[in-house]
Amino acid sequence: MDKRKIILSLLGVVLIVGAIFGAKAIIDSKEQPKPNIQKTVKTVFVDTVQNSSIAIKIPANGNLVAKDRVELYAEVQGVFRYSSQDFKAGQAYQRGQTLLKIDAAEYEASVQSAKSELYNQITAIMPDLRLDYPEIFPKWQEYLNNLDVNSSIPPLPEPANDKERYFISGRGINSAYFNIKNLEQRLVKYRITAPFNGVLTEALVTEGTLIRNGQKLGEFIDPEVYELQVSIGKQYADLLKVDEKVSLTDNSGNRSYEGKVSRINARIDQATQTVNVFIEVAAEGLKEGMYMQANLDARNEENAIEIDRSLVNDRNEIFTVQDSVLKTIEVKPVYFSDRKVVIKGVPDGEVIITRQVSGAYNGMPVKIAEENNTADTAASSDSNSESKVQ
């Protein structure tokens, strides 16, 4: 029984080994087909270089601010009593109209009291003038007759000599006069008038409001002329000139305006290393606070070209096409904008790619797109379109 099991086991092993060798022989005898390797050649769009003079435009942006603007503050205290128009934002005023009048009845009474005191002082010296200085008595008599406590005080008569000057000063006439002039100057501050034709853009008080000294009352602007403050790099500051024309566009880009450089700050911001440039613009439809984009003409760069900035790698190289193969050449970037770059160092007649190629490398075989391709073909096959060759 044991011998039979041994024989069967040996037969099983022999069959298994034979099956393995047989399967291997069958596999080895099968013919291996050659793989069909496809070679990929990318199609590129190119252009022939022709160096020329490139105008470098510096983009800048900012918000419009009225060139003539006044922040209204109270220098006295009292109740807001009167305005020529409704003292509300958006209300227009003509030059000289009353923006705001504060109740000054109590203060006016004190000014009239001071004028009356001066009148009494001059009256008291008239007898002495008649006796001791009869030659100057008439002009002081005339001044006294014209002195009205309800009107602005007129200038004192000019002294004819030192005796008259000493006499008048010794009686306190000059001190009383200048005290009244000081009171009258302060009385003017109870009424604020429009310094120019303009619009009230901010109103912080209404009629009947108690106004305190130093309180802000509102803002008043001239809506005809605005200024745009922009910041540009210090390297371009010396290239700009006052009165230079500037092209402006609004936030939507639908409307264009023409301004001019009105001022250039002589100080460089230490944090940003930029210079503030002020552009004056006047046109219908402009509002304070409107966002504007400006393009300032900095300079013309000779013997240069302008290409998409994505075509220049971090080693300042671009790809050219030579004998259907990509080659890199080193260039000198002169100016970078948001999308474009101005470069120098590319010889005339050099063929460069105009659209970025994914996975591009030095020595990569490419196919140049035919010049007679239609716009539809270019749209359907992008810059990375491929041509497969068996």
Is residue 383 pLDDT above 50, yes or no? no
Taking residue 101's Cβ as centre, other Cβ atoms within 10 Å add up to: 17
Confidence of residue 300 (pLDDT cuts 50, 70, 90): confident
pTM summary value: 0.65
Looking at per-residue confidence, does 13 or 128 come out higher? 128
Q: Which residues pair with 69 in a beta bridge?
A: 221
In sequence order, the 6+-apart residues with CB closer than 8 A to the CB of 43 are: 366, 367, 368, 369, 381, 385, 386, 387
**pLDDT at residue 12 above 80?**
no
Q: What is the mean pLDDT of residues 92-98?
A: 95
**Residues of the chain above pLDDT 70, percent:** 89
Looking at residue 131, its pLDDT comes to 87
Higher pLDDT, 42 or 389: 42
Q: Compute CA 71 distance to the chain's CA centroid, rounded to the nearest angstrom.
A: 21
Instruction: Report whether pLDDT(389) > 50.
Output: no
* E-assigned strand segments in 224-339: 226-233, 245-250, 256-268, 274-281, 291-308, 317-322, 325-330, 332-336
Q: Which helix (H) or strand (E) holds 15?
A: helix 2-29
pLDDT digits (tens, 9 = 90+) for 309-321: 889 988 899 999 9
SS3 157: coil
Asked whether the predicted pLDDT for residue 378 surpasses 50, the reply is no
Query: What confidence category does residue 96 fall into, taking pLDDT thresholds of 50, 70 and 90?
Result: very high
**By mean pLDDT, which of 13-27, 66-80, 125-139, 253-267 is the weakest?**
13-27
Average pLDDT for the chain: 85
Q: Judge whether residue 375 has pLDDT over 60.
A: no
Give percent of the chain with pLDDT exceeding 90: 45
The H or E element that residue 221 is part of is strand 216-221
Residue type, 265: N
Cβ 73 vs Cβ 211: under 8 Å: no
The per-residue pLDDT for 186 is 93
Strands, sheet with 46-48, edge to edge from the N-terminal-most edge strand: 46-48, 351-353, 317-322, 325-330
Instruction: Report residue 14's pLDDT band, with 50, 70 and 90 as the boundaries.
Output: confident
Rounded mean pLDDT, 276-302: 88
| Structure token digits, residue 128 | 């002495």
pLDDT band at 324 (very low <50, low <70, confident <90, very high): confident
Assess contact for 224 and 69: CB atoms under 8 A.
no
pLDDT tens per residue, range 50-70: 999 888 888 888 999 999 999
Dump pLDDT digits (tens) for 143-193.
Answer: 999 888 888 899 999 988 888 889 898 989 999 999 999 999 999 999 999
- Of 55-59, 246-250, 280-284, give the lowest mean pLDDT range: 55-59
